[in-house]
A and B are shown apart, each in its own frame.
Chain A
Amino acid sequence: MNLTPRLFKSYASRNVNNPRLRKTFRFATHHALEKRLQLVQEVPEWEALRDRAHQIKEEVIDHLDFYLEGLETHVTANGGKVFWARDGKEASDYIVKVARRIRAKTVVKSKSMTTEEIGLSRTLEENQLEPVETDLGEFIIQLAHEWPSHITAPALHKSRGEVGELFAEKLGIPYTDVPEELCEAARKLLRSKFLKAELGISGVNFALADTGTVVIVENEGNARLSTTMPRVHIAVMGLEKVIPSFNDLPVFLRLLARSSTGQKQTSYVSLISASRQPGELDGPEEFHLVILDNGRTEILKDPRMREALFCIRCGACLNTCPIYQRVGGHAYGSVYSGPIGAVITPLLQGVEVAKDLPYGSSLCGSCSGICPVKIDIHHMLLWLRQQVVAGRHTPWQERLAMKLFLAGMSDSALYRLGSGALRLAVRLGGAQGRPLKVPGWTQTRDFPPLAERSFKTLWKELEKTEAGRAHP
């Protein structure tokens, strides 16, 4: 499989026909949803929290320049270095430059969707550095040379047997499919990497504009180690991750873990404001914050799409999506999968590249209903479909059919003529009462059988009867 959304249709149809994969995704997504639901029911303020989180994000995005300046000012005042990157290449180049300056060889990375988005590990490898993914799931997919199939559980698609075989082959340990033993093998290897790495790279869940603090949410402790043990820590964030204030954080933290993994709080939430301060016993000597655009200001340009920048990457919309549950994360051909991925990927990579993603939805709205920051995901998918059509990225047959449909629907004479012709064709073809077949269209959809007589005909017949006359 290649990391491209162009192949969504073929990946999706392949995955739908893979029973093992479907079972894996069904189990994992339902497991997360059940745990979430239990915890959400215990919080009577849940809806108010969602509204408040949405409001805070509106405030940030409406005044993004103001809050980013505040963040920069405070990070700098705390002794950190802020680097602005227009795209992934600028961000990666800067990180390589820092790594060269400190003569780093081993680079420990904690889980970060943003660094996945810019393919940072590949750039580090090309520059003779050894990037080590330290989150267990990310470590597994790094060994397998794959990309994440879920925003918060990157190796969701892998069975324990597959992980066992992978570890036996790549790490040279005896085969086992006991998760605890696999975890222990990874822990041992990664602990040695933590102790020798010169550079640690993390993502950012929230960046607080009024204190210059980056907040990192995790369960394993690998983000804490990545930001504590190496001499230099670089945090990489998309520019939408800023929130106004330290006291906005509790709102998001009460929503995030419950939505994502069904926990009240994750094992660790680190609030990092600076490198080691005088008198402190450990921590990195340097702290860098890379603030990345990489297409985000393009999303900002379209007011209808701005809400895509509210996402806190909890993964709840993936879990609840009937399409994601069936096709799995890899089908989307992007590091961002599921409903929010189907919004973000076309916006970041272009509608023409990812034109099929907005159609990977039943528009049921379950994603919008579960989103902890109330992003109107399914309406944005609809607007993206509009853009796909307006950009003439749909097949010409479909465009023609829609034009004919439009003409028929706007003129009753044309409508009668068209439906009459269609009925005649069906009758001549001997297909009465059977679903119609339209090449390309009915492969994945039903075209309901055409009624033998139209509503209008039926109505006229009804009027001739007693019952019809009784109700003029």
Chain B
Amino acid sequence: MSSSRAEIFGKIRQALVKPRPVHHHGHPPAPADLSQLFASAASRDGLVEKFRREFELVSGEFVFCDNNASIFEFLSQLIQSSTTTRIAVSRHPICQRLSIAKWLQDRMPGTSLLVEEIESENPYARERLRNAMAQVQLSITGAEYLIAESGTLVVAAGSQASRQISLLPSIHAVLATADQIYPNMADLFLEIQKKYGAKLPGSALTCITGPSRTADIEKVLIKGVHGPTRLITIMVG
């Protein structure tokens, strides 16, 4: 126990002996129930359409693919139109289920493929992965959850995906399914808390709402500052 810690806690406890004054104009008690505070965004009807609308409002690109053929058609067009040669694929279950890596290997011979399959406890392997990822133009990953109210994708760091795969490449394509969509953040967070308790999954959860952006120079909106310039949701039907 450092002396600074003891001193800070001492000061806090001493200060809190004096109660906070009752507010002179008062604050009406607000509902402590989280869902009530999100009531206007609680409907479960048309979640895919709602997500698409919000996602496009934040400059995300949305595509609905109801079979494997249409997913691959979309990807091959994306690769060609963006003249992408270096692609990374995460080991997210949805990428594995759709055999994205295998398809790229077989059908996109002109591209080099980075699969996040490394000995994770070997620092040199991690260093190599990181250096390779810095060269990637397009990454294909899966989402954990989606939030309709704000058009948000939630990704988790773990053994199935790195943190950097959704960050370093200039185009990030995310595979998702309709059953992953929650109406709002409150519903999702209550669900996560029910499932994981005090120990959140992985070291980092990230909510992604549109491509990286800035308006720091004269409020001019620029997409793609440090993270991806393009963010794509591929809704798998």
Contact = CB atoms under 8 A, between A and B. Distances in A.
B134 A300 contact: no
Contacts of B206: 224, 268-271
A395 interface: no
A264 B214 contact: no
A183 B58 CA distance: 19
A250 B163 CA distance: 22
Nearest to B186: A250
B107 interface: no
A264 B227 contact: no
B226 A270 contact: no
A84 interface: yes
A295 to B, nearest CB: 11
A344 to B, nearest CB: 17
Contacts, number: 280
Nearest to B129: A281
B126 interface: yes
Contact of B200 (A211, A293, A376): A211
Given A58-B20, A225-B226, A254 B185 contact: yes
B203 A267 contact: no
B130 interface: yes
Contacts of B190: 247
Contacts of B164: 228-229, 282
Given A45-B38, A246-B189, A273-B204, A280 B217 contact: no
Residue picked from A134, A219, A267, most chain B C-beta under 10 Å: A267
B16 A62 contact: yes
B152 interface: yes
B9 to A, nearest CB: 6
B203 A297 contact: no
A434 interface: no
Interface string A251-265: 101100000010111
Given A62-B20, A281-B129, A283-B203, A239 B150 contact: no
A293 B5 CA distance: 10
A192 to B, nearest CB: 10
B120 A180 contact: no
Nearest to B205: A271
Contacts of A158: 217
Interface string B25-46: 1011111101011111000000
Contacts of B2: 83-84
B69 interface: no
A363 interface: no
Nearest to A110: B226
A179 B193 contact: no
Interface in A366-383: 374, 376, 379
Contact of B163 (A51, A282, A379): A282
B106 interface: no
A84 B10 CA distance: 13
A439 interface: no
B222 A183 contact: yes
Contacts of A154: 216
Contacts of A374: 27
A408 interface: no
A376 B23 contact: yes
Interface string A181-201: 011001100110011000000
Contact of A136 (B25, B40, B217): B217
Given A225-B167, A266-B209, A49 B37 contact: yes
A213 B200 CA distance: 9
Interface string A273-303: 1111111111100000001010001001101
B151 interface: yes
B54 interface: yes
Given A24-B218, A224-B226, 20 more contacts: A45-B37, A51-B29, A135-B216, A137-B216, A163-B217, A179-B217, A183-B217, A251-B34, A265-B209, A267-B58, A267-B227, A269-B207, A270-B206, A273-B200, A277-B202, A281-B126, A281-B163, A282-B157, A283-B157, A297-B11
25 contacts: A84-B2, A85-B4, A153-B215, A179-B220, A187-B225, A220-B212, A221-B227, A225-B226, A247-B186, A250-B37, A250-B184, A253-B185, A261-B215, A264-B149, A265-B150, A267-B209, A267-B227, A268-B208, A269-B206, A270-B204, A280-B120, A280-B157, A280-B203, A282-B157, A300-B16
Interface of A: 24, 27-28, 31, 43-45, 48-52, 54-55, 58, 61-65, 68, 74, 83-86, 90, 134-137, 140, 153-155, 158-160, 163, 179-180, 182-183, 186-187, 190-191, 194-195, 210-211, 213, 219-222, 224-225, 227-229, 239, 246-247, 249-251, 253-254, 261, 263-283, 291, 293, 297, 300-301, 303-304, 306, 374, 376, 379
Interface of B: 2, 4-5, 7-9, 11-16, 18-21, 23-25, 27-32, 34, 36-40, 54, 58, 116, 118, 120-121, 126, 129-130, 134, 149-152, 157-159, 161-164, 167, 184-186, 189-190, 192-193, 198-200, 202-220, 222, 224-228
